[in-house]
Structure 1
Amino acid sequence: MTEASTRLSRLFEGHRLTPTQRRIAQCMVRRADDAPFLSSVELAELAGVSQPSVTRFAVALGFDGYPALRRRLRESLRDGGVGPGGARSSANVYQRAVLAEIDQLRRLAAELGDPARVEEAGRLLAASRPLPVLGLRAAAAEAHGFAYFAAKVHPGVLLLDEGGSVLIDRIEAAAGDGATALLCFALPRHPREVADALAVARGAGLRVVIVADSTVAPVARPGDLVLSAGVSTALSFDTACAPALLGRAVLEAMCDALPDAQARLERFDTRAAERGLFLE
């Protein structure tokens, strides 16, 4: 990566951009030497987006419009901008995405130096019968993965990965059946129906545990137990290795709080061997 590409990459870091806006950013990084001289129409054509998308992109970066962004790029070019960034300066877009994830995982490791909140979450979830696990849209994969493994040790896991009015019915039914807690995976861009579903859960008396990208996630409310791990925005779509790993840590804490977890796992392994479920 050239020094000009590195300067552009740093300009975009730390901003919450939509997938379309990230495509524009990546196009500019690839054409870093030309970027300060491109019109909004030319940039839109190169990125395969509309001209208004380029304007919204500039505004999302904190500029009044695209002309202001282009002036900043030209000033940076004239002044020499920011110097090379070590290993990142020579990395391609895919390597930078990996390095960004490593940064998020390091932060998570530091946060887990005090495991008290994760352990509290594990106890709350272990005690809930049934245990609703909610995750919609971008967070559906994390919810599905947690529910898949949790069902091997918890007797009443209820996966909630589809929205709509039926979602509210299922949360209310879970509360009526004795659930005391709900686990929610909440990732950007936070769907409004997640906030609505959590409001129903709280109203039904459930303790809400949230694995989110931030402790101030828009779906969280006072009284929730929020555990956070950042997502990376280096690619067009968020990568969420750290939240996924945090979910596994919560799962481990839940296993520790379930007295019969090991016995259940052993029974599953025995039946899996008898049925020849796995190749190894």
Structure 2
Amino acid sequence: MIDENKKDLLLQIQKNFSKLSKGQKLIAQFIIDNYDKAAFMTASKLGIKVGVSESTVVRFANALGFEGYPELQKALQEIIKTKLTTVQRVEMANEYSNEGAILKKVLKSDMDNIRSTLENIDYEEFQEVIDKIFEAERIYIIGLRSSTAIAEYLGFYLNLILDNVKIVGYGISDIFEQLLRISNKDLVICISYPRYSNRTLEVINHLREEGVPIVGITDSLLSPIANISDYCLTAKSNMVSFVDSLVAPLSLINALIIAVGMRERDEIREYFNKLENIWYKYNIYDRKGNQ
């Protein structure tokens, strides 16, 4: 995990610049000027680019307090998640030579994201979140911008299991108006992924001041909502050109939904039987394949 004091890595590099060797200064200057490109370069490629050896790149990472170059690279990628514009992200897609390369790279990246999420998930925190969901009088789900899709998905399924779920989002009324009757007996599940929405942060900071319990679902413990949340579940989301991968977050949401459902299995079995009869009566789903 990247330490909090490495969050502003560029400032750290500038402060240590005078202490670096000649070769390390070349690396430092390149990263300061081109951190968006350096974040996706291997140690070997970075060394070739600035004219130093791969071992010099590794020693540079060590000089900044990192165990190795991969840790430095992760820190750089954390920075660009919030600083790159959409136009800059599109320009990064030049590395994709053809559609076949895009398919392989994206699918592999999603597999890596799920693997990393599984390895780093806090199981006790996950269990506590399930407990809080059942303790809450009402559950409010907030996810804006690119996180809206995940919030809607979570809300749709939790609404099939529980009867106290509300999805908060842009609509006729303002977000704060939708939260007007919220209390500390309720629970807010906030989903926030890069590029982080300022509106989300405003709302969560307000709810924090009101003493409302908050569950954050985000990409990293360095995320702006991580420190604000009472409970935080992280699922890896790597940037793929102008699109942020939400595969691992959606997988985490699936696990959350199923865990809640299994506690209510007897109740939802009866409820789903009623739903199936309604769906059949009003021809909600195609039945041709079952005839």
Q: TM-score range by the shorter chain?
A: 0.5 to 0.7
Task: Report the 3-state secondary structure (helix = DSSP H, G, I; strand = E; otherwise coil) of the residue aligned with 1:11.
Answer: coil
SS of residue paired to 1:159: strand
Give the direction of change, closer, same or farther, for the CA distance of 1:102–1:124 in structure 2 (3 Å limit): same
Q: Report the Cα distance in structure 2 between the residues aligned to 1:129 and 1:226, rounded to whole angstroms.
A: 20
Work out whether 1:245 is the aligned partner of 2:251.
yes
Q: 2:112 aligns with which of 93, 103, 106?
A: 103
3-state secondary structure, aligned to 1:227: strand
Which of 220, 223, 226 is the equivalent residue of 1:217?
A: 223
Query: Under a length normalisation based on structure 2, what TM-score does the superposition of the two structures give?
Result: 0.64
Of the candidates 97, 100, 118, which is equivalent to residue 126 of structure 2?
118
| Structure 2 CA distance for aligned equivalents of residues 126 and 168 of structure 1 | 24
Corresponding position: 1:231 with 2:237: yes
**Partner of 1:192 in structure 2?**
198
Aligned partners of 2:132 and 2:207: how far apart in 1?
Answer: 15
Q: 1:131 aligns with which of 139, 142, 157?
A: 139
SS in 1 for 2:244: coil
Q: 1:267 maps to which residue?
A: 274
174 and 23 in structure 1: CA distance in 2 versus 1, 3 angstrom threshold: same
Partner residue of 1:146 out of 147, 154, 157: 154
Secondary structure of the residue that 1:151 maps to in structure 2? Answer: helix
Shift of 1:20: 1.5
Q: Structure 2 vs 1, CA of residues 110 and 189 (structure 1 numbering), >3 Å: closer, same or farther?
A: same
Distance, in Å, in 2 between the alignment partners of 1:234 and 1:222 is: 27
**CA-CA distance at 1:117 after TM superposition:** 1.7
SS of 2:112's equivalent in the other structure is helix
Contact 2:216 2:229 in 1 (8 A): no
Rounded to whole Å, the distance in 2 between the matches of 1:148 and 1:186 is: 18
**Which residue number in structure 2 is paired with residue 20 of structure 1?**
87
Aligned partners of 1:120 and 1:9: how far apart in 2? 35
Q: Is the 8 A contact 2:96 2:102 kept in 1?
A: no
Using the TM superposition, give the Cα deviation of residue 223 of structure 1 relative to its aligned residue in structure 2, in angstroms: 5.3
Q: Which moved more, 1:136-145 or 1:223-232?
A: 223-232
Counterpart in 2 of 1:157? Answer: 165
Q: 1:108–1:162: structure 2 CA closer, same or farther, 3 Å change rule?
A: same
* TM-score, structure 1 normalization: 0.67
The unaligned stretches of length 5 or more in structure 2 are 1-36, 43-72
Q: Which amino acid aligns with 1:204?
A: E
Name the amino acid aligned to 2:132.
L
Distance 2:259 2:210 in 1: 25
- The aligned counterpart of 1:11 is 41
Higher relative contact order (CA 8 A, sep 6+): 1
TM-aligned CA distance change 1:203 to 1:28, over 3 Å: same
Q: 1:255 aligns with which of 236, 241, 261?
A: 261
Q: Is the 8 A contact 1:131 1:182 kept in 2?
A: yes
Pick from 171, 178, 181 the counterpart of residue 179 of structure 2: 171
Q: 1:91-145 deviations in whole A, cap 9, x for unaligned?
A: 7123111111100011122235x63222211221233232111000010000001
Instruction: Give the equivalent residue in structure 2 for 1:203.
Output: 209
Amino acid aligned to 1:20: V
What percentage of residue pairs aligned between the two structures are identical?
17
CA shift for structure 1 position 23: 2.0
Across the aligned residues of Structure 1 and Structure 2, the Cα RMSD in angstroms comes to 3.0
SS at 2:41's partner residue? helix
The C-alpha deviation readout for 1:75-95, integer Å capped at 9, x for no partner, is: xxxxxxxxxxxxxxxx71231
Following superposition, the deviation at residue 179 of structure 1 comes to 4.8
- Over 3 Å counting, the alpha-carbon distance change for 1:123 and 1:93 in structure 2 is same
Q: Give yes or no for contact 1:135–1:186 (8 Å, CA) kept in 2.
A: yes
Shift of 1:149: 1.0
- Aligned residues between the structures: 213
Q: Deviations over 1:232-256 (max 9, x none)?
A: 2123211110011111212222223
Please, which moves more after superposition, 114-123 or 152-161? Answer: 114-123
Determine the structure 2 residue equivalent to 1:279. Answer: 286
Is this contact kept in 2: 1:129–1:155, CA < 8 A? no
